[in-house]
Amino acid sequence: MIIEDEPMVAMFIEEALELAGASSFDIAATEADAVAFAARHRPTVITSDVRLVEGTGPRAVEQIHNQLGDIPVIFITGTPFECEAKNTSPVLMKPVTLNAVMKAFEKVAPEDAGCLS
């Protein structure tokens, strides 16, 4: 799942994840959409911005984790200081490179993560 409210950035992240081997995606622009998409189809890996047009990525991730259990997360944001201090997920600073997203995905993704929704 890609939680990102900027369409061009979401497409860039999707491209990087495809190059890393992911093959299926849900893209959510709001906190509520992310939670709803995850409830319909459990994501294998989540990439998330912090600030969204409606809600926040970290709150969406927290709700998804509360409902579905632990799922690997990569935060990709222009505001990395807003990721919680207790967070152990990789945090990539925007602007980000394809290579950085690919390496972070390879680091956190389970071996069967070809289906990233």
Give, for 3, the enclosing helix (H) or strand (E).
strand 2-3
Q: Which residues pair with 51 in a beta bridge?
A: 56
CA distance 61 to 56: 9
Where do we find the tokens 């200081």?
A: 81
Measured over the CA atoms of residue 75, residue 81, residue 83 and residue 86, the dihedral's sign is positive
Q: Which residues of the chain fall short of a pLDDT of 50?
A: 115-117
Q: Which residues pair with 47 in a beta bridge?
A: 2, 74
Q: What is the pLDDT of residue 115?
A: 47
Beta strands in 24-104 (DSSP E): 27-28, 46-48, 73-77, 91-93
Amino acid letter, 57: G
Q: 100 phi and psi, to 5 degrees?
A: -65, -40
Query: How confident is the model over 52-79, as pLDDT tens digits?
Result: 999 999 999 999 999 999 999 999 999 9
In whole numbers, what is the pLDDT of the chain averaged over residues? 91
Domain 2-108 fold is Rossmann fold (3.40.50)
